[in-house]
Structure 1
Amino acid sequence: MVTETISTMEKTEVPHVLFFPFPAQGHIKPFLSLAELLSHAGFQATFINTEHNHHRLLHNNDIHNRFPKFQFKSIPDGLPPDHPRSGPLYIRDLFRSSRVSFRPALRELLTSLKEEKGPCQLPKCIIADGIMSFSIDVAEEFEIPTIFFRTYSAHCLWIYFHFSQLIEEGEVPFQDENLDQPISCIPGLENVLRRRDLPRIRRFENADDPMLQFFIRETSVLTRATGLILNTVNEIEGPMITRLGSFFKKVYAIGPLHALKSRINENSSSSSTSSDGILWKEDKKCLKWLDSKPSRSVLYVSFGSLINLSGEQILELLHGLANSEKSFLWVIRPDLIVGDATIGDILKEQETGRMERGLIVSWAPQEEVLSHPAIGGFLTHSGWNSTLESIVAGVPMICWPQISDQQVNSRCVSDIWKVGFDMKDTCDRSIVEKLVRELMDNNREEMMESANKLAMLARDSIKEDGSSCINLEKLIQDIKSMSS
């Protein structure tokens, strides 16, 4: 259906869409995938990055070949040049600086586009990140429709819509230290959530905490938009998507975007690749290492592009992995470890031979790794992109969430979809060893059966008659109607 639209769209009409993601890899990646899909449909794409991330994008990608129809624009992120730009503090500082520097930068950019001639004049639609609500204020000044793209799961967004209610009911802030206390006031999730499963911001001690109130405001503003885009699947998150429909004029569930983009690329003459790197240089030598391993014998370990870990946490994970006696491929970014210790220092202290089953790389082509037949499990931070990529690949997970929506995702993986284990709020070598053995040996068949069923739902959704493909077609047509 989308393929037909791409081939039959009138070439005289070129809708111009401006994409404005929050400046973190977990947000930029799905935004780029969506921009590629709309570019295939004949749209002109202008993509906004911060100057820092644009430099990294140029350094790690041949963007002119990878994104030939894109116009990239960059704006300052408002942070000092020596800011480390990693870890949870980076996100906090970005939230603060975005309120000050991004609004005037977007206004200035739209003013310059308005004065341009040709295909890259003022956009007919802005697709903005759902945690940058100021975008709709600026867009309304220029009378441009806005569609928000929330890069979290539907379950997580539904919980965000109930943070005020959690405060009113006395559920947040917590009255004691019992993190296993059930949360009962969120419709549809009464028998699922515990305190520890709420997004990380739930652990603030004061209901008036600025960051907590920030997210409450950001979520409420979403409903002003023309529509909401979610990188998810109706057949997997249908009940939550239906509930969110009560807040929005239109909801477009068009995930998994990475898989939908790959399928449409296969059916077109596009030269775009499925590279995951974007802001990091990939080490593809690990794929040859995987080629030498038996089927389903390797545990893939990666904690995403943002979180930081202490040397002690790395040691506990390392001992747990080594003691499990399973082969593992571990992504350790150069900026992953806080403090003076390096991974080289930590490895020197280990017994000879403890790492003989493992391979450490600085960044991996994750989609290719997860689809490799040697991979039997994924120890993950439960970021939504990683969760979706693991679901599509049919790989069961051990979830060790740290920030943001990851606590919600890990609960969904373990207790709703039953395709993995939830290891949140602990980092102990004996637990790591136990769960790796459970995932790779003791519960292997049961986990694989559940993972394969979920993978089938995700893969079916991106077929021509699948729900995500149909919803993408609706989005394309609705944006075209804005241009006419």
Structure 2
Amino acid sequence: MLKLSELLCLAGVHVTFLNTEHNHRRLLGSTDAGSRFERYPGKLSFEVISDGLREDHPRSAEDFEGIVKSLQGVAEAHLREMLRAERGRKVTCVIAEGMFDYAFEIGKEVGIPVFAFETVSPCYLGGCLCIPKLLDEKEVLDENLVRELKKGCLECGRIVSWAPQEEVLAHPAIGGFWTHSGWNSTLESIVAGKPMICWAQYVDQLVTRRLVSEVWKIGVDMEDRWDRLSVEKMVKELMMGSRRQEFKKSAQKFSKLARESVNNGGSSYTSLDHLINDIRKLSSIKHFENTLS
């Protein structure tokens, strides 16, 4: 969402980014976001709100539904006030994470268009759309493994709370990526041309891991095998096994395709242009309506 905001700013669109206090602290404390966003004076601003949770709450994936529900309790009223308030510049539209359905209800209520921005893979969305038809026609982190991983990394690896993932993946020393198969991480690995070991947990990750391993042939799927021997076998298969060249060749192929898609004339480049033009048209309509009133 932040990268989309930057792209919109580069196109001259004014963006207000709504973030939680917890995430905003992490963003500023762990990245160069503060200095990076200074490139867009007057174009990008942040509004920060509480997520409704205690400071000592772990905010872990295991309580994902609870986090989303708590956030809604704060964000719903704040978003409604943001869209209704007169702040000088009129709000043309809202771009919201697709799972926050209340954003769409509020947009309809105040008469402001809302675009859904999905961070799950398109293949997963396609699968969801097929569920009704399939019905008509008739995967928890292992704490022991985590402890063993920390112990095994003492001499030959590192476990950190945050890392610049794109920079790490782009480094020539990286031969593979063990990932939870989130769509952003999968895309970043594809762009970097790095094969993957997929350890999916839930939602779209379960679909993405199958695409990576069975369709695109750019990695292996752990499925439900996370004992020491299975992990060792998959790492060796990815890094030095008989399929290493196959993985490497496929990863390079998809990396080329991904890079082409964001170049001038590529599919992603063109889709972003369409979005920007739609926002500009909405802005023109709003300006015309305000002039008439």
TM-score (norm 2): 0.87
Aligned counterparts, 1:30-429, within 5 A = 31-61=1-31, 63-68=33-38, 69-89=43-63, 91-112=64-85, 115-117=86-88, 121-167=89-135, 309-315=141-147, 318=149, 343=150, 347=151, 355-429=154-228
SS in 2 for 1:84: coil
SS in 2 for 1:361: coil
Residue 105 to residue 43, structure 1, CA distance change in 2 (3 Å) = same
The residue type equivalent to 1:477 in the other structure is: N
The residue type equivalent to 1:480 in the other structure is: R
Structure-2 separation of matches of 1:71 and 1:109: 13
1:134 CA displacement: 1.2
SS in 1 for 2:220: strand
Residue 363 to residue 61, structure 1, CA distance change in 2 (3 Å) = closer
1:403 CA displacement: 2.5
Structure-2 separation of matches of 1:355 and 1:100: 42
Contact 2:179–2:197 (CA<8 Å) still a contact in 1? yes
The residue type equivalent to 2:253 in the other structure is: K
**Higher relative contact order, chain-length normalized (CA < 8 Å, sep 6+):** 1
2:290 corresponds to which residue?
none
SS in 1 for 2:176: strand
SS in 2 for 1:135: helix
Contact 2:30–2:162 (CA<8 Å) still a contact in 1? no
Structure-2 separation of matches of 1:86 and 1:425: 21
Contact 1:130–1:149 (CA<8 Å) still a contact in 2? yes
1:309 CA displacement: 4.2
Structure-2 separation of matches of 1:364 and 1:52: 17
1:268-310: CA deviation from partner (whole Å, max 9, x where unpaired)? xxxxxxxxxxxxxxxxxxxxxxxxxxxxxxxxxxxxxxxx844
Structure-1 separation of matches of 2:193 and 2:280: 35
User: Which runs of 5 or more structure 1 residues have no equivalent in the other structure?
Assistant: 1-30, 171-199, 201-307, 319-342
Residue 46 to residue 468, structure 1, CA distance change in 2 (3 Å) = same
1:166 CA displacement: 4.8
1:438 corresponds to which residue?
237
1:129 CA displacement: 0.7
1:50 CA displacement: 1.7
Residue 57 to residue 363, structure 1, CA distance change in 2 (3 Å) = closer
Structure-1 separation of matches of 2:217 and 2:231: 18
Structure-1 separation of matches of 2:101 and 2:215: 30
1:407 CA displacement: 0.9
Residue 361 to residue 167, structure 1, CA distance change in 2 (3 Å) = same
Aligned residues: 279
1:450 aligns with 2:250: yes
Structure-2 separation of matches of 1:422 and 1:140: 42
Contact 1:395–1:451 (CA<8 Å) still a contact in 2? yes
SS in 1 for 2:175: strand
The residue type equivalent to 1:139 in the other structure is: G
1:311 CA displacement: 3.8
1:394-413: CA deviation from partner (whole Å, max 9, x where unpaired)? 11111111133211110010
SS in 2 for 1:66: helix
1:231-278: CA deviation from partner (whole Å, max 9, x where unpaired)? xxxxxxxxxxxxxxxxxxxxxxxxxxxxxxxxxxxxxxxxxxxxxxxx
1:462 aligns with 2:262: yes
The residue type equivalent to 1:124 in the other structure is: T
* Percent of aligned pairs with the same amino acid: 48
1:42-61: CA deviation from partner (whole Å, max 9, x where unpaired)? 11110001222223333334
1:437-464: CA deviation from partner (whole Å, max 9, x where unpaired)? 1111122111111111111111111111
1:315 CA displacement: 4.6
Q: What is the aligned-residue RMSD (CA, Å)?
A: 2.1
Structure-1 separation of matches of 2:31 and 2:222: 35
Structure-2 separation of matches of 1:139 and 1:93: 24
Contact 2:181–2:205 (CA<8 Å) still a contact in 1? yes
TM-score (norm 1): 0.54
Residue 456 to residue 132, structure 1, CA distance change in 2 (3 Å) = same
1:390 CA displacement: 0.7
Structure-2 separation of matches of 1:36 and 1:440: 36
1:164 CA displacement: 4.3
Q: Which has the higher helix share?
A: 2
